[in-house]
Structure formats: structure tokens, C-alpha cells
Homo-oligomer: A and B are copies of this chain.
């Protein structure tokens, strides 16, 4: 009934470290701007084919991510067991999705990964899984919407007090499919029960 996954939660499948979940070794530095920290060394970069008028160029800004590498005096660093996209990465991925990318090819994944690495730690599998999960969750979100709007028929479940039993209000028994107000006219689409 709730659970909107776009609120920053990405339950990426993680097979790092032989699939074992990593635990937090240190208290989390909450104020850290980039929480994609990890003790894992970055993966070897893929080929880096850049197109001048690439989509990513709009998200590209120069930033220094090498400081921590130069001085290995790592501050209280957090072991993140799973990748979490930075806002830029997330925006880019969502934009790609919006533009139609659903199941990127290997080349696309490599390209996307290499571009998004500028915004933070990321691996090809993260991109791969992001699209898999995002596609699946968009679909299941749609399914839930349909189910909750159309069903309500055979679903005589345990609703809490906030969901009443169906009652005959003084109206025709039908559900409203959609409706909108336009030019002082209310249009209602009804679906008789």
C-alpha cells in the first residue's frame, strides 16, 4: 500500500564479496556528502568512449575524487555493503530510463558506467541491476495501481478501519475510472460494478 521506491532507496542486488552482506564497521558519518564510500578499491575502468554531444555531458562537472587515494590515511570510513547512487547518477539513470533505455546492452552499460563514475563509485553491475530493478518496479507499481483501482471487488480482505466495507451510498454502484474538470465541465468516467 505504501513503499515508494523512488525515495532514494535502491535495493540493489549485491554480489560483492562473494555475495556476503557487509556490516558497518564504523559509526556512519551522517554528514558525509558522498556516501558511496567503501574500502573496496575501484574497479578497473572500462573503455571510455566519449561522445562529444553525449547525454552525459550535461551532468559532467569536474570534481576531485582522488584525494583519498593519494593519502591513504582513510578517515573513519564506512563500509557500504551496497552501491547507492549519487543524486547525479540517479538523475542520469532516470533520464536514460525516461528516454527509453530499458535493457542496456553490454556496450551501453560500459559506457554509462564509465560516464557515471565521474560522479562517484559505480560498477557495471550496478547499472545493470539498476535497470533491471527499475524496470521491474515500475511494472509492479503499475500493477498495484491497476489492482487497487479495478479490484476492490473480490478483495474482501482485512482492511483496517481506514478502508471501509463497501456500502451503497445513495449513488449508482460504480467505480470511477477517471475524471477531470475542463472548461467548466466535469467529465467522469464510470465503470459499473
Chain A residues within CB distance 8 Å of chain B: 1-8, 11, 13, 15-16, 18-20, 30-31, 33-35, 46-47, 49, 51, 53-55, 57-58, 61, 63, 86-88, 96, 99-112, 114, 119, 124-125, 128-129, 139, 142-143, 145-153, 156-157, 159-172, 174-176, 178-181, 183-184, 186, 188, 190
Contact = CB atoms under 8 A, between A and B. Distances in A.
Copies of this chain, whole number? 2
Contact of A186 (B3, B47, B172): B3
Main secondary structure of the interface of A (DSSP, over half): loop
Given A7-B143, A33-B150, A106-B186, A157 B100 contact: no
A107 B152 CA distance: 9
Given A119-B153, A161-B53, A184-B19, A105 B175 contact: yes
